[in-house]
């Protein structure tokens, strides 16, 4: 990875941090898309101590206009981008809306990355072999398809893990439609993965209940370093260059649920995503 430029969202904790450190040790230059400039600066210092190059781009993934500005900064600073890792995600125990009027998990886990990825394609195409890595989840099994009639959970009773699984299903469907658009002969590939149940700070935004839940589950969780292995593999392994539109678990292709392989739903989600952005004066 020496000399290659890798951008990653959510790099200051959990598997994002483990991924950034692993790629830094391999010689990559890291573009850290962080909400907290202070935490980002601490990670830059840690990476520089390892001999790696890194810089911070501030972004609030719950604000689509913040994502737009971050994408503009990213393509200016990295006109040739070798890897984009859509890693950041959140779990909410209660329904929340962003300032854009969108259900927050759908907005952060899917739509922000949809916008960032599409805006970054010109830099990825400038690389000899650009790679897009989406950190999905086996939680897409918690639902049985994407609900286009109530994707924002306005009518249904809130169910945390179903809403989370719904947003992660969007990751897999986005990967599918994006990979079809990139084709089989282009220089850019797109793949998604399930990192496993990882001991991380996800859920900590839900106060003591979220922290208690993670504590209770901790004996059954893998380390962030273990959870990051497939992200690092897809970002850096020469072998992984052959994958296009795949879903990986433990560095191997796997079959997701059938509703994550629904091309019609993937195309419909693409249309919904572009329409939601257009309503907010944003284009991809």
Torsion of CA 149, 154, 156, 157, to 10 degrees: 160
Residue 164 is a catalytic residue:
yes
Beta bridge partners of 131: 83, 189
Q: Which position among 151, 164, 233, 243 bears the catalytic label?
A: 164
- Strands (E) across the chain are located at 5-9, 29-34, 53-58, 83-86, 131-135, 189-194, 247-249, 252-253
Per-residue tokens: 149: 């009639």
Angle at 124 between CA 260 and CA 245, to 5 degrees: 20
Continuous H helices in 30-159: 37-49, 64-77, 104-105, 112-126
3-state secondary structure of 222: strand
Tell me the catalytic residues. 164
């Amino acid at each position: 990875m020496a000399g290659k430029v890798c951008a990653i969202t959510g790099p200051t904790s959990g598997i994002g941090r483990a991924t950034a450190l692993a790629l830094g040790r391999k010689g990559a230059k890291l573009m850290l898309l962080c909400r907290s400039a202070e935490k980002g600066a601490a990670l830059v210092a840690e990476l520089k101590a390892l001999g790696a190059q890194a810089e911070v781009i501030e972004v609030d993934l719950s604000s689509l206009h913040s994502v737009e500005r971050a994408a503009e900064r990213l393509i200016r600073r990295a006109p040739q981008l070798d890897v984009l890792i859509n890693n950041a995600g959140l779990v909410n125990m209660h329904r929340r809306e962003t300032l854009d009027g969108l259900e927050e998990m759908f907005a952060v886990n899917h739509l922000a990355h949809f916008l960032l990825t599409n805006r970054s394609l010109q830099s990825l195409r400038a690389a000899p072999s650009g790679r897009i890595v989406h950190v999905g989840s086996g939680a897409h099994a918690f639902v049985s398809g994407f609900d286009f009639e109530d994707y924002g959970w306005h009518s249904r009773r809130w169910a945390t893990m179903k809403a989370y699984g719904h947003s992660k299903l969007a990751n897999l469907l986005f990967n599918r439609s994006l990979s079809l658009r990139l084709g089989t002969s282009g220089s850019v590939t797109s793949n998604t993965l399930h990192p496993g149940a990882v001991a991380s700070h996800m859920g900590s935004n839900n106060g003591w209940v979220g922290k208690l839940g993670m504590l209770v589950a901790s004996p059954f969780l893998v380390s962030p370093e273990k959870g990051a292995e497939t992200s690092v593999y897809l970002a850096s392994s020469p072998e992984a260059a052959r994958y296009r539109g795949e879903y990986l678990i433990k560095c191997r292709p796997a079959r997701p649920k059938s509703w994550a392989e629904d091309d019609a739903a993937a195309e419909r989600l693409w249309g919904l995503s572009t329409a939601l952005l257009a309503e907010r004066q944003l284009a991809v």
